Structure 1
Amino acid sequence: MTLDHRPLAVFLMGPTASGKTALACSLADRYPMGLISVDSALVYRGLDIGSAKPDAATLARYPHELVDIRDPAQPYSAADFRSDALAAMDRVRKAGRVPLLVGGTGLYFRALQQGLSDLPEADPAVRERIGAEAARVGWATMHERMAERDPVAGARIRPGDAQRVQRALEVMELTGRTLTELQQGGSREPFPWRVLKLALLPDDRKLLHERIAARFDTMIAGGFLDEVKRLRARGDLHAELPAIRAVGYRQAWEYLDGQGDATNFRDRGIYATRQLAKRQITWLRGELDARTFDPDRGDPLPGADVALQQFLGMPRASRAALPAGI
């Protein structure tokens, strides 16, 4: 049998409000691990309350790579993440630790492990024309048009996700092939890490929804709207930027634009977060090689502890350096 000499890494995945950060910090107390965030909102500076970003005390004790690395005016892509994550993983390894990648952005996990297909660069003229047409007929109609040719992408991309609908249509026009066809190509290079996947997968949606609502209320009480007001006051941000389209921020931005009242804002924010969790759970159920734990049926730490001891081939070693060769 051929031995796998690739360095080790751990993926800790789960839907929003499932307890990923708490578990990651507990594991970092037990094992020589370096934390790397896999979250499309946490990369942005100033998106703190509404993104449930770990607070300053937590980040001081448990530093996370790839947090606060971009200004919200700057888009951040899956390709950017893959490049940054691979570099961060290498830094963690050279420091004698195991990379622990924690988050809920499935697209980033997939891009990291499976690579990215060779998609064409954006064409401003095509993009502008698609945007102008959408302004006339609406993004729902544009989504229907895209889904007719690419039903897989149509099921995956929401009709209201203008950026991704536009990109799918742009790719089809530029290449004559669907986004799904191109993405299925992926990278031919093997992933240079051996990975243990741990997933927090709540079975009781009702309990998850209750946590989502409670956390959203805590965000509002903690000054979420004031945070969004500060972002708006900059003057260089707008509702179509990826940062502002993050769940919760988009609803807050629209509310401050005069759309609906405070109750409507809360309801829409909670609903959008629940829909995000639903998509994340659907993605996680496709990760058949992940070891899953239901956080509502007991503390997931003991099970994760056993899995890590087996994977690392060592007992837990509170913040110690790894033996040579790990």
Structure 2
Amino acid sequence: MPDLISKPPLICLMGPTASGKTDLAIALAEELNCELVSVDSALVYRGLDIGSAKPDYPHHLVDIRDPAVPYSAADFAADANRLADEITARGKTPLLVGGTMLYFKAFLEPMANMPSANLNMRAAIEAEAARVGWSQIHARLAEVDPESAERIHPNHSQRLVRALELYQSSGRTMTEWHRDSGVGLDPFERFDIRQLAICPQNRAVLHQRIALRFAQMMKAGFLTEVRDLHQRGDLSPDLPAIRAVGYRQLWQYLDTQCPLEEAVEKGVIATRQLAKRQLTWLRKWRDLGWIYTDQAGNVEEFLLSDASLGSSEGALAVPEQEGEEIAGKLKGQAPLVVALNYLSDAPM
């Protein structure tokens, strides 16, 4: 990965459940000397192994809590910030991988006791950017908050909007808010952050993978795992660990609320619904490179999310003819090849 700026790199790899993100993360870790940080609300709990598809490859933030002790998004943000600094100090690259989007949001968008978003003002700034371009929005920020403008690249539309909206709604700059809060944990100020998502292009392929994985988990002893948790006596469906998809449904069977076959069917449906929610989050995510895969897991298409709308429906950020040529070369490649290509050239 080229050292384009002085900040150390940090990679975020997102995607719905069963999308292939763990395999891609492991491959990237081997190529780029990364340490993996799990961004998964089930993997943090000990004893949730089969149903959470707990990986064998080393990840930070796996098996760090007993299921009786809840783990929050705020806990994750604090742990991820600490780990990112520690991994960087070891001369390696932090790679955050998972599908718990609330955790990603807590890490990438620290509150720092700032006012909540003013949606009307944010919409007005985005509408203006559509008319005059993001470079002009960046210039406006430089007039009122030069320190933030120096830190924020013109391509980072989401951060530009937040900085301007914060100033216009509160009369105080983001620099002032950070200075007075004393939090100092904005990862974009400390790292060169590059974001990727991976997902099958055909939703039916994702659904097939989900059903197959659930069946494989059942054969591997998922029900026995849940029964062991159920028999502890100190756990209940009110706990976040037991509310995890699959666990909640098999717990209902063990509580004699439904037959096993029905519980399994509900578990598959709940996992599909989880994937849908994850994709809803991701389609609103900005500055994101999308790797769409085919049924065999190879690249079908690569897109950049629209900087202003957070949509993955936009085209490659290159001229149309050149974009078609690039897309043709990428199709059929392994996701690792495309990811490495994007990470080396991502506009940061």
Q: TM-score, normalised by structure 2?
A: 0.65
Following TM superposition, by how much is the alpha carbon of 1:295 offset from its aligned partner in structure 2, in angstroms? 2.2
Match of 2:216 in 1: 218
Match of 1:10 in 2: 11
- What SS does structure 2 have at the residue aligned with 1:90? helix
Runs of 4+ in 1 over 4 A off after TM superposition: 184-189
Q: Which runs of 5+ in 2 are unaligned?
A: 115-168, 179-183, 295-299, 301-331
The one-character-per-residue Cα deviations of 1:230-257 (angstroms, maximum 9, x if unpaired) are 1112111111000000111100111110
Correspondence for 1:234 among 232, 235, 252? 232
> Residues of 1 paired with 2:347 and 2:279: CA distance?
27
Following TM superposition, by how much is the alpha carbon of 1:114 offset from its aligned partner in structure 2, in angstroms? 0.3
Report matched runs for 1:1-326 at 5 Å.
5-54=6-55, 58-59=56-57, 63-116=58-111, 118=113, 188=178, 190-191=186-187, 192-296=190-294, 297=300, 298=332, 299-310=334-345
> Residues of 1 paired with 2:96 and 2:40: CA distance?
10
Following TM superposition, by how much is the alpha carbon of 1:117 offset from its aligned partner in structure 2, in angstroms? 6.5
Q: Answer whether contact 2:250 2:260 (CA < 8 A) is retained.
A: no
> Residues of 2 paired with 1:8 and 1:101: CA distance?
12
The one-character-per-residue Cα deviations of 1:69-92 (angstroms, maximum 9, x if unpaired) are 111000001100000011111111
The one-character-per-residue Cα deviations of 1:199-222 (angstroms, maximum 9, x if unpaired) are 013321111000000000000111
Q: Answer whether contact 1:201 1:284 (CA < 8 A) is retained.
A: no
Following TM superposition, by how much is the alpha carbon of 1:266 offset from its aligned partner in structure 2, in angstroms? 1.2
The one-character-per-residue Cα deviations of 1:26-57 (angstroms, maximum 9, x if unpaired) are 11111111110000000000000001111xxx
Cα distance 1:259–1:236, how it changes in 2: closer, same or farther (>3 A)?
same
Q: Answer whether contact 1:9 1:196 (CA < 8 A) is retained.
A: yes
Q: Answer whether contact 1:33 1:97 (CA < 8 A) is retained.
A: yes
Q: Answer whether contact 1:199 1:290 (CA < 8 A) is retained.
A: yes
Following TM superposition, by how much is the alpha carbon of 1:4 offset from its aligned partner in structure 2, in angstroms? 5.2
> Residues of 2 paired with 1:66 and 1:255: CA distance?
30
One-letter identity of the residue aligned with 1:234:
R
> Residues of 2 paired with 1:262 and 1:17: CA distance?
23
**Same amino acid, percent of matched pairs:** 52
- What SS does structure 1 have at the residue aligned with 2:108? helix
> Residues of 2 paired with 1:118 and 1:195: CA distance?
23
Following TM superposition, by how much is the alpha carbon of 1:261 offset from its aligned partner in structure 2, in angstroms? 1.1
> Residues of 1 paired with 2:279 and 2:343: CA distance?
23
Q: Answer whether contact 1:35 1:102 (CA < 8 A) is retained.
A: yes
Cα distance 1:235–1:71, how it changes in 2: closer, same or farther (>3 A)?
same
> Residues of 1 paired with 2:242 and 2:193: CA distance?
32
Aligned residue-pair number: 241
One-letter identity of the residue aligned with 1:90:
D
Q: Answer whether contact 1:14 1:201 (CA < 8 A) is retained.
A: yes
One-letter identity of the residue aligned with 1:242:
P
Match of 1:151 in 2: none
> Residues of 2 paired with 1:268 and 1:36: CA distance?
30
Q: Answer whether contact 1:19 1:295 (CA < 8 A) is retained.
A: no
Q: Answer whether contact 2:73 2:103 (CA < 8 A) is retained.
A: yes
Q: Which runs of 5+ in 1 are unaligned?
A: 120-183, 314-326
Following TM superposition, by how much is the alpha carbon of 1:308 offset from its aligned partner in structure 2, in angstroms? 2.5
Q: Answer whether contact 1:79 1:116 (CA < 8 A) is retained.
A: no
Relative contact order (C-alpha < 8 Å, sep 6+): which is higher? 1
